[in-house]
Structure 1
Amino acid sequence: MGRAEARRSRQRGARREQGGRGGIRRFFAWRRLLGTLFVCCLLAMGGFYAVYLLVPVPTANAEAELQSNVYKYSDGSILARSGKINRSIVGLEKIPDPVEKAFVAAENKTFYEDHGVDFKGTARGLVNSVTGKGKQGGSTITQQYVKNYYLDQSQTVTRKLKELVISLKVDQRQSKEEILAGYLNTSYYGRGAYGIQAAAQAYYGVDAGRLTVEQGAYLAALLQAPSQYDWTSATATGRKLATERWNYVLDNMVEESWLDPAERAGMKFPVPQEPRPAPGMEGQTGYLVEAANQELVNQGVKEEDIKAGGWTITLNIDKKRQKELVEAVDEQLESRLDREGNEVDATVQAGATSVDPKTGHVVALYGGVGATEHWMSNATRRDYQPASTFKPLVFAAALENGSRTQDGRRIGVNTTYDGTSRRPVQGSDTPFAPENEDDISYGPVTVQRAMNKSINSVFAQMIVDVGPDEVKKTALGLGMKDTDGFVEQPAMSLGTMGASTWDMAGVYATLDNHGRKVTPAIVKSAEHKDRTVELPDPIGPQAVSRQTADTVTSVLTGVVRNGSGRAADTPAYQAAGKTGTSENNKSAWFAGYTPELATVVALFGEDTEKGEQVTLTGTANSGRANGGGFPARIWADYTLDALGGGSDARFDLDVMEIAAPDPAPVPSPSGSPSPSPSPSSSPSDEPVEPSDSPSSGTPSGTPSSPSPSTGEPTPPTQSPPSPSPSTSESGDDEDPGAGPGPDKDKPVRP
């Protein structure tokens, strides 16, 4: 072998030796790498297990359980929402099954089989978070629910790890139904809507339970990009993507056998409605919401529970009648006031409550110029005197108790009384001699004429004949509240206690309902995901006999036809009512009813800066304020429209047979019989309407203007300003012709 050949042999051997050593090195290098990877995996698994053990399922985040309250009119349309978050949590049982499936088809087809996590999608999300590539989808419904309910929307590695761990635990502890319900109720759908109930209202104006499959598929599609896919604001590209996503959802439902292919083929894209701003608390809305909340509190619902949200509260308020009541006040009062340039006009506050006497439902309520301008509701405040609207209750007590005059005559419609102004009452330990309006004396008058003319001296004597305690008992039974000023004295006959239009509407609705007690109710239903409030029947037992109630109604029809309430008279309907004007014209009332509707309207003089009651005299430059003026005209305008332009309904009355004129002599002020008392001034046969103006001879100790009562049960009230003290009894009526006349464009009202 030559040297060259030997050299080549040595080189080949060296290469073989070098290759053997390199292979060994490579072998051991791979072993080290695999071992390192294995150890890392073990460490990762151990670390994850440690994290699993250490990371608890937290309580809900700060906003996850925040809800709004939804308030609705009686027809189901939205009146208002309250709360920072527009969300109303609903149970899965209230959501149609196909709509549920649409969300599963959109987000997580394996939801019912998986264990709550998508490891591949989560890993991708972790990588993107580390590399700064932003958000990345792929999470399961459980993971999205955990993110919404327990965590936040941050895109950090820590948050993603927590989401993974908590999702595994939640999947073990909660049913798929609970998780899906939580997901549907916590997701954001755009338009400020959190949860499927708010989304259904925002996009389609219906409750979640009435969503169609097409609508549900669109809401499910929205979750991928709520702003981009909102049809009404989307670009052409956005609409195209939204439509593609909608089709994707439905096709997945067919693939999963959750939707029939033939039904799918006939579906059309459900274009959502235009966005609408959430109704606020301006105008009458705040008054209605506060009245509903207060009624729930009176029924045992805690105020803090209401504020926590989640309630769907349907009111008895008739949307159309509510609008008509506001328009009547605006047209008959507000349009005539100069609130900026007239000091008296600036103090005028109006309030009204309208009740269906057959159901007790409050169908309309007027609380004032607006809840954001005048926070106290004039419909429910009790710091003003109802004045002569109380006189029918004195007569009702006389009938109910079979009361007699001082000389033994049974009190009825045609019982005669001495109508002399300043006539001292007989048979009372408390001296009282009220002055009639304008100090007019009427001589012998029947109860009917005394009611028509609202003669103070007659009802002051009548309350003594009946007994102030019995009158108060009857009044409370009819629905009045026992306020501080409800003192059992003869002056009580002039309505010196405090009352609200809400209270008086219940009283007059009870008379309208043949004496069966009517407790005004504004809440039709109140539902929460955890409870439903059981509401009492607004119609109760007999407060007074039917004959008593019907006889009072008969007399009050005369007040509308021939007395101080003539501004409310029209051939379009049959009405009964009573006017009232309190001491110094601080309040003016008209309480009236037809067979179908009982409504009380009142004006109050209030200096809001000083918190004082002031006179209404000079309102709209109309002279003395009175119940037969603005209140009666508002009542008439509203009632005509609320009854659809009129009604053929007539009172079905069963009156008492105490109607024949009583020939017995009428006692004179001295107490001796006198067939013809001499009046201090000759009464006119013209319809000059008397008003119970204060008498200079009023004895000391007459009750002062009352403050609101807080007794139970109470209708909605708010804390009023302190009333100004009163030193004499309230007064009434009134020339119904005072002030501007009826609107000539309205139907004729004699």
Structure 2
Amino acid sequence: MGRAEERRARQRGGHRAAPQRRRSISGTDEGPAGLASGGKPRKSLLRRMFTWKKVLGTFFGLCLLCIGGFAAAYMLVDIPAGNADAQLQSNIYKYSDGTMLARTGQLNRESVDLSEVPKDVQLTFVAAENKSFYHDSGVDLRGTARGVLNTVMGRGTQGGSTITQQYVKNYYLDQNQTVSRKLKELVISLKLDRQKSKEYILAGYINTSYYGRGAYGIQAAAQAYYHKDAKNLTVEEGAYLAALLQAPNEYDWALASPTGKRLAQARWNYVLDNMVKQHWLDAGKRRAMHFEKPKAPKAAPGMKGQNGYLVDAANASLERRLVAQGSAATIGDAEALVKKGGWTITLNIDKGKQHQLEQAVKEQLTSKLDAKKRPVDGDVQPGAVSVDPKTGRVLAMYGGADYFKHFRNNATRTDYQPASTFKPVILAAALQQGSVTQDGKPINADTVYDGTSGRQAVDHGVKVGFGPPNEDNANYGDITVQKAMDDSVNSVFAQMGVDVGMDKVMSTAKQLGMDTTGMQAVPAQTLGSMGASPLEMAGIYATLDNHGKKVTPAIIKSVEHKDRDVTLPDPIGDQVISRTAADTVTSVLTGVVDDGTARVSVAANSARDGQQVAGKTGTSDNNKSAWFTGYTPGLVTSVGLFGESAKTHAQVPMTGATGLLPGTGRVNGGGYPAEIWAAYTFDAMDGVSKFDLDTSQGAAVETPKPSTSATRSPTQSPSQSPSGTPSSSGSPTQSPTQSPTQSPTQSPTQSPTQSPTTEPPTGDPSPDNPLEQLGGQRGQAGQQQRQNQP
């Protein structure tokens, strides 16, 4: 405003009016945009809120808060009384009807003074777990912080704890993975390190740790693995026990997989090498040391007979479930939780069927074994599993002669070949995939293949380098898939595997329930050259029996614990192969019983009473294993016999067992395994039943005889005509007067194009060749029975 106006304003108001500020373009009282009234750049809201003074102040505040919180925790948390023994309880195991099976709970631990443990053995544990043990403060702050972070983020557990912390966890606290437990572990460890000597802590650690085989503490572990007292352990033996603490179950030499054994030896080397680095072991002595395998395990008290096998199988299943549902971070942690006790575990085991299975094994096999008269008899190890295909329940399990005499469960071991019991998986894959032969013909029960022994499998005109011989080098010429399954003709299924594609075969095997981890999809697998257990094979066949819906055998019915809830998965899963494919395989497998390798032992059993049966025999390379896995509509049972040296536990042949003639007296799948199966099944089944099959082929309908115009895959020159008639045998074994070169088959009742041409064996079969007993041609009795089936 002008001067005159200002003068008039003063006269009116008594003072000069303040000049108005010029507004910025932005409409504020500031000057140009982005500048404050003083001409300085305007600060953003973020910069005004997070100044370096505020950030630094917050950081120091948090540090003070953490220090104060830790100081408070240090003052408030005392070293508690040891509670490990007080918390240990019995585990109760029941049959499916609720009656008592077993009770366990006596802790296998005997504490010893540190002075009774050799000094170099003491040092193996320090070298393995905590090299700085003798001069640290008892805690690993970085490891603990990492463990807390992993727990908060749900990543499980990691290493990093000191020996002191591990002792605190074992003796004063528990295995729960929570932040509060880890913080308590830290505080108690610091206090314990200040109040107790290192020798006291080390003694407590090695006396409370779990070493596997039910052994707590170094004294029990020394007895369990080396059958000696802790005071007599060598440094090599101590290094193995120290290595075990990282993974007791995985590194136990009696149970470990090949990978587990490699890891155990690597850990053993790590322990001894650390001792050299710490100058606790002379380098020259270290170089002279060699890994010695621990001794075979001894059973824990109270586990006599089959009880020990059943309890161990239930524990293993529970431990896997605890890990799966997040109640334990590792199998080792789960083992500790189960061993701690307080569980009531009801098994699916049917008390009556369990007794029937045990009796069948005794009557048909073990009563005939006499190791004093025949050393080979001591090498025969039987195992069996029986499953309800509709529910997946494991109704009976036979793990071995006695848990005290043979620690390993033969029903769950996976180190022997299932041999020709794998052949139905190949056929299932062909049917599921809609596979065709080399000349484009669909693969089904009527498809004709060349059954010439040793014939090279061909992939579109190119030999794949695999041509397994048939048993006794028998040539079958043109033969249907049905007949090839009945008599377990290796050359046919080797070619079928190539036709389907071994990758598809192994994929189907996995879908049906086989653990195919690490298995190669090569033609040799058509002979069942992988490892499998009776439990696994029972699951595969149960899935076939259940019309293609996945069956995962379940040994546990229910689990109760006062502090924990365990949810059990449904043993019956999704449809993994079509019903038509599964039912067609079942249809074909009835022929194995009626007219094939199992006919003498199963079909002729007087207790059968018209019961329909499907199944498959198997006999592995060099007679080291023999199998029969079979089923009725309501019961699936897999029986395996395994040749295991009573002295070295290596795989050995069973030839000559029970007095069978050496060289000719093979223990075949169609012999004792099928006899055990029949004796048990026909006693345990609930009435006669028929298969309800969705297949146009019926129940192993008699296939037409191949004609000269029949398709053969792949095309080969016709086989030679029969050069002789195989000698007749009415039992699964040869008579003492029979020539070793004769095939133990029935006299042929079919045309020459389906009769095998027997040739003298030219030596041992190929390493992957299962030696199948030729149980005879399609007899008139089998044909008559099949005509009466729907």
TM range (shorter): 0.5 to 0.7
- Alpha-carbon offset, residue 489 of structure 1: 1.5
Q: Does 1:636 align with 2:668?
A: no
- Partners in 2 of 1:62 and 1:432 — Cα distance? 59
Compare 58-67 and 563-572 and name the one that shifted more.
58-67
The 1-side partners of 2:712 and 2:547 are apart by: 36
Aligned length: 463
Tell me the alpha carbon deviations over residues 667-705 of structure 1, each in whole angstroms, 9 at most, x when there is no partner.
Answer: 789x6565x43358567596855999999899xxxxxxx
Q: Deviations over 1:469-503 (max 9, x none)?
A: 1111101110111154x321211111000000000
Q: In 2, distance between residues paired with 1:292 and 1:693?
A: 49
Structure 1 residue aligned with 2:694: 654
Aligned mates of 2:503, 2:476 — CA distance in 1: 28
Partner of 2:616, secondary structure, is strand
Aligned pair partner of 2:310 in 278, 288, 302: 288
CA deviation after TM superposition for structure 1 residue 292, in Å: 0.6
Equivalent-residue separation in structure 1 for 2:707 and 2:658 (angstroms):
46
Distance in 1 of aligned mates of 2:100 and 2:574: 34
* TM norm structure 1: 0.58
| Alignment partners' CA distance in 2, 1:322 and 1:691 | 43
- C-alpha distance in structure 1 between counterparts of 2:301 and 2:611, whole Å: 35
Aligned partner (choices 509, 513, 520) of residue 487 of structure 1: 520
Contact 2:456/2:463 (<8 A) preserved: no
Change (3 A) 1:57 1:483: closer
Residues 407 and 451 of structure 1: CA distance in aligned 2, closer, same or farther (over 3 Å):
same
- Give 1:572 shift: 4.7
Task: Map Cα deviations across residues 214-257 of structure 1 (whole Å, 9 max, x no partner).
Answer: xxxxxxxxxxxxxxxxxxxxxxxxxxxxxxxxxxxxxxxxxxxx
Residues 58-102 of structure 1: CA deviation (Å, up to 9, x unaligned): 64756432201111110111111111279xxxxxxxxxxxxxxxx
User: 3-state SS of the aligned residue for 1:64?
Assistant: helix
Question: Which of 382, 389, 393 is residue 414 of structure 2 equivalent to?
Answer: 382
| Amino acid in structure 2 at the alignment position of 1:475 | A
Correspondence for 1:449: 483
Kept in 1, the 8 Å contact 2:475–2:719? The answer is no
Alignment CA distance shift 1:389-1:629 (3 Å): same
Alignment of 1:271-282 (within 5 A): 280-282=302-304
Instruction: Give the drift of 1:636.
Output: 0.6
Equivalent residues in 2 for 1:613-624 (5 A)? 613-622=651-660, 623-624=665-666
Give the Cα–Cα distance (whole angstroms) in 2 for the partners of residues 419 and 57 of structure 1: 76
Q: What SS does the aligned partner of 1:344 have?
A: helix
Q: Distance in 2 between matches of 1:55 and 1:552?
A: 66
The separation in 2 between residues aligned to 1:735 and 1:696, in whole angstroms, is: 18
CA distance in 2, matches of 1:290, 1:693: 48
Separation in 2, partners of 1:467, 1:55: 65
Q: CA separation in 2, counterparts of 1:362 and 1:603?
A: 19
CA distance in 1, matches of 2:757, 2:341: 49
Note the aligned Cα RMSD (angstroms).
Answer: 3.2
Q: Which residue of structure 1 lines up, in the alignment, with residue 561 of structure 2? A: 528
Equivalent position of 1:352 in the other structure: 384
How far apart, CA to CA, are the structure 1 residues paired with 2:774 and 2:493?
20
Provide the C-alpha distance between the structure 1 equivalents of 2:513 and 2:697, rounded to a whole number of angstroms.
26
Pair 1:562–1:471, CA change in 2 (3 A): same
One-letter code aligned to 2:105: G
d(CA) in 1 for partners of 2:438, 2:616: 26
1:691–1:732 Cα contact (<8 Å) kept: no
Cα distance per residue 1:248-271 (max 9 Å; x no partner)? xxxxxxxxxxxxxxxxxxxxxxxx
For 1:296, the aligned partner's letter is: L
SS at match of 2:506: helix
For residue 278 of structure 2, what is the aligned residue in structure 1? none
CA–CA distance in 2 between the matches of 1:432 and 1:61?
A: 62
Return the match for 1:728 from 751, 756, 767: 767
Q: Could you tell me which residue of structure 1 aligns to residue 343 of structure 2?
A: 311
Structure 2 match to 1:234: none
Question: 1:549 and 2:571 equivalent?
Answer: no
- Residues 386 and 495 of structure 1 are in contact (CA less than 8 Å); yes or no, is this contact kept in structure 2? yes
Q: Give the counterpart letter for 1:613 in structure 2.
A: Q
> What secondary structure is seen at the aligned counterpart in 1 of 2:644?
strand
Change (3 A) 1:731 1:560: same
Matched, 1:598 2:636: yes
Q: 8 Å contact 1:421–1:441 — kept in the other structure? A: yes
Alignment gaps of 5+ in structure 1: 1-53, 87-149, 151-277, 699-725, 738-750
Shift of the alpha carbon at 1:663? 6.1
Secondary structure of 2:309's counterpart equals helix
- Partners of 1:677 and 1:490 in 2: how far apart? 23
Distance, in Å, in 2 between the alignment partners of 1:452 and 1:408 is 24
Higher relative contact order (CA 8 A, sep 6+): 1
Q: Which runs of 5 or more residues in structure 2 are unaligned? A: 1-75, 109-171, 173-299, 329-333, 730-743, 746-755, 777-790
Name 2:358's counterpart in structure 1: 326
Shift of the 400–683 alpha-carbon distance from structure 1 to 2, 3 Å rule, reads: farther
Deviates more, 1:463-472 or 1:279-288: 279-288
Deviation at 1:296, TM superposition (A): 1.1
Report which stretch shifted further, 514-523 or 293-302.
293-302
User: Equivalent residue of 1:531, what SS?
Assistant: coil
Q: Distance in 2 between matches of 1:666 and 1:335?
A: 49
Deviation of 1:736 (Å): 5.2
* Worse overlay, 556-565 or 652-661: 652-661
Counterpart for residue 458 of structure 1: 492
Letter in 2 for 1:430: V
C-alpha distance in 1 between matches for 2:727 and 2:759: 20
Instruction: Quote the Cα distance in structure 2 between the aligned partners of 1:282 and 1:539.
Output: 32
Paired letter, 2:413: R
Superposed displacement of residue 656, structure 1? 4.5
Displacement of 1:649: 1.3
Cα deviations by residue, 1:298-321 (Å, 9 ceiling, x for unpaired):
212511100100000110000110
Which residue pairs with 1:510 in the alignment?
543
Q: Provide the C-alpha distance between the structure 1 equivalents of 2:555 and 2:760, rounded to a whole number of angstroms.
A: 36
Q: Could you tell me which of 370, 373, 387 is aligned with 1:338?
A: 370
1: CA distance, partners of 2:533 / 2:640: 9
> What is the DSSP-based 3-state SS (H/G/I as helix, E as strand, rest coil) of the residue aligned with 1:331?
helix
Larger Rg, first or second structure (1 or 2): 1
CA distance in 2, matches of 1:426, 1:359: 42
For the residues of structure 2 that align with 1:475 and 1:696, how far apart are their CA atoms? 33
1:392 to 2:424 alignment? yes
What amino acid maps onto 1:73 in structure 2?
A: Y
Q: In the TM superposition, what is the alpha-carbon distance from 1:574 to its structure 2 partner?
A: 1.5
The residue aligned with 2:649 is: 611
1:568 counterpart SS class: helix
Structure 1 residue corresponding to 2:394, chosen from 362, 365, 369: 362
Verify the 8 A CA contact 2:723 2:758 in the aligned structure 1: no
SS in 1 for 2:633: coil
Q: Distance in 1 between matches of 2:468 and 2:716?
A: 21
Cα distance between partner residues in 1 of 2:444 and 2:358: 39
Can you list the C-alpha shifts for 1:623-667, whole angstroms capped at 9, x where unaligned?
1110010000000111112115xx221100011469875768567
In 1, distance between residues paired with 2:560 and 2:530?
A: 37
| Deviation, structure 1 residue 341 | 2.2
For residues 674 and 319 of structure 2, the distance between their equivalents in structure 1, rounded to whole angstroms, comes to 33
